[in-house]
Structure 1
Amino acid sequence: MVVSNLAMACLGYETTRASRLHLVLVVLVFCISSEIISSFAELQKFEHAPKDDGSISFLVVGDWGRRGFYNQSKVALQMGWIGEKLDIDFVISTGDNFYGDGLKGVSDPAFEDSFKNIYTAKSLQKQWYSVLGNHDYRGNTEAQLSPVLRKIDSRWLCLRSFILNAADIADFFFVDTTPFVTKYITDEKHLYDWRAISPRGTYIANLVKDLEEALRKSSAKWKIVIGHHAIRSAGHHGDTPELVRHLLPILKAHNVDMYMNGHDHCLQHISSLDSPIQYLTSGAGSKAWRGDIKRYNSQAMKFFHDGQGFMSLNLTRSDAHIVFYDVLGRVLHTWNLSKQLHSAV
């Protein structure tokens, strides 16, 4: 009766047992409705200004949170060097930020042990934009999304799904992919934090609707979608059928240029054979899977590396320069994309 007593105190009157019960029901319905509305609201939008020369540079890393082990610290060191060289504007994390079962709460030391005390280079003291991975869902997801973590380290920004706009150069669409994957719902070996996801069907339908509307409205030169799970991959997990079914048609319909993900602990670049989409996997921030690669169409597969590393992107309104690096900072693969600019008559 804590809720009803608080409500009565605020309203300042006595009630009967029946009216108290009615008030409790009203409050509960309001809370549930508010949760649904906040979960399915239009995607929150953030702004990040480009450099004075009209360019954006950033790093992409995923599947990293292992307290420095499995070469996480070595990858972080090289990210610092490359970040300084490129004068990066921000960092993107593709999820599985904290192994093995996310964060226990906002005071979990894993946040500092795996993030704050690892990515210490001056060049990495920029905003980090992050999505949740399936391992993050095994912990307290609300903790990872909490503003409390931003007070511990102001770089941290993690939401389920959101948009990052960089003027007219690029729009980045961050998508919460874990709820799409059916096997996690039926997984009896692990507990997942689905508190804000139920009802799952409604959550997914609204997310897809919001993403499609946001893509339709975007006038940016580059449209980049980020999720934890791969749409196309030759790695351990391979393609994600649920994303191929629910997300890929939307990405194709709205001329998305790149889809970036983690989940598979490797680095890879796959080119779509029936659309402009470049599938870029950066999930090698710590533990990697040597020799774990599936056969893939040789025309589509441009690059695969079964070790640790990360990637960088430099964007202007007309060009995109993509680079993959290994754990020692060596360049493994580069790719250039161009867009035709139309001047006003």
Structure 2
Amino acid sequence: MGLQLVFIGTIALCLVVSSAVLERFEQALKQDGSLSFLVIGDWGRKGAYNQSKVAFQMGVIGQQLDIDFVISTGDNFYDSGLTGIDDPDFDTASSLQKQWYSVLGNHDYRGNVEAQLSPVLTNLDKRWLCLRSFICLFTFFVSEVAEFFFVDTTPFVDKYFIEPKDHVYDWSGILPRKQYISNLLKDVDLALQQSNAKWKIVVGHHTIRSAGVHGNTDELVKQLLPILEANNIDLYINGHDHCLQHISSFDSAIQFLTCGGGSKAWRGVVNWWKPEEMKFYYDGQGVMSVKVTETEIDIVFYDVYGHVLHKWNTSKQLHASW
């Protein structure tokens, strides 16, 4: 896989439970009622562009925080995804020492998508899970503490369909596109409505709010964002822009967190953003950690040297059950 991570601790695997629409996985929190994970995106460059340095810090931070899993926000394999299930870029030697939950990025769609989604890869290393869209629920006894909604965002973006130019995208399983997007939006909306989790976290590859070179993804702003706002999600986590970024929202409680600094960065483009909403922007490589309990979320951004760049915390009251 390229990222050489070394963690100490028990590997926690998800258990599949029934779901009428999106495939759902369930896992219990630690005995202290906490959940910790790292987020990395746009990283699949075989160690180049400081990827190895980011991976080293992930190992250090992951061990310190006793993380439960890693989230990849996509572009897992540059430049053009995997060629097949036997692609040597999928190196399981020592790179997956914790459970990984991954979504597809636009670069992954330039390769053999079905290969990257194949259960064959999960059989090679059970800690690798990559699906188009899925749900992970984390519980503490009978309390549903955090629910993660992983959303396949690449098919939303018009330019990949009307301006392919030098790139060919693998749209198997997507066409007819309008029906795919319509069904996905309905599924996500229904799943969010039915969620009883204290914290609702949505993960996708593409930006919704961003001051980076790609900026806002208009298709997601128009189609997905209204659903997220209506269902009162807490965090939207993405990659795509090769930076680290935290933008808050005036219109809702949503925090927009970009973690696309897994390898190539330093693009030198920062677009103006309302200073009241722009909590943090770093035009470089790094990783983000998140710790969740029933009452709090703590977020920390780190650079390739492990230096803390930005911290943010929010809390909710714990309501007693009668």
Q: TM-score, normalised by structure 2?
A: 0.91
What amino acid maps onto 1:241 in structure 2? Answer: D
Q: Give 1:170 shift.
A: 0.3
Q: Secondary structure at the match of 1:265?
A: coil
Please, what is the CA RMSD of the aligned residues? 1.1
Counterpart position of 1:91: 70
1:248 aligns with 2:248: no
1:51 aligns with 2:30: yes
What amino acid maps onto 2:152 in structure 1? Answer: D
1:231 aligns with 2:208: yes
- 1:165 is matched with which residue: 115, 119, 137? 137
Structure ranking higher in helix proportion: 1
Counterpart position of 1:179: 155
Number of paired residues?
298
Q: Give 1:340 shift.
A: 1.5
1:337 and 1:105 map into 2 onto residues whose CA distance is 42
Q: TM-score, normalised by structure 1?
A: 0.85
- 2:252 is matched with which residue: 250, 256, 275? 275
What amino acid maps onto 2:311 in structure 1? Answer: T
Counterpart position of 1:155: 127
Q: Secondary structure at the match of 2:184?
A: helix
Based on CA coordinates, which of the two structures has the bigger radius of gyration? 1
Q: Secondary structure at the match of 1:46?
A: strand
What amino acid maps onto 1:172 in structure 2? Answer: F
Residue deviations 1:266-294, cap 9 Å, x none? Answer: 00000001100000000000111342111
Q: Secondary structure at the match of 1:111?
A: coil
1:188 aligns with 2:165: yes
Residue deviations 1:129-188, cap 9 Å, x none? Answer: 000000000000000000111222221100000000001110000000000000001123
Residue deviations 1:15-44, cap 9 Å, x none? Answer: xxxxxxxxxxxxxxxxxxxxxxxxxx7100
1:153 and 1:65 map into 2 onto residues whose CA distance is 17
1:238 and 1:252 map into 2 onto residues whose CA distance is 19
1:135 aligns with 2:135: no
What amino acid maps onto 1:300 in structure 2? Answer: E
- 2:55 is matched with which residue: 42, 62, 76? 76
2:44 and 2:227 map into 1 onto residues whose CA distance is 31
1:240 and 1:305 map into 2 onto residues whose CA distance is 19
Q: Give 1:231 shift.
A: 0.3
Superposed counterparts of 1:182-331, under 5 Å: 182-186=158-162, 187-331=164-308
Q: Give 1:110 shift.
A: 1.0
- List, as ranges, runs of 4+ consecutive aligned residues in structure 1 with deviation greater than 3 Å: none
Q: Secondary structure at the match of 2:28?
A: coil
Q: Secondary structure at the match of 2:280?
A: strand
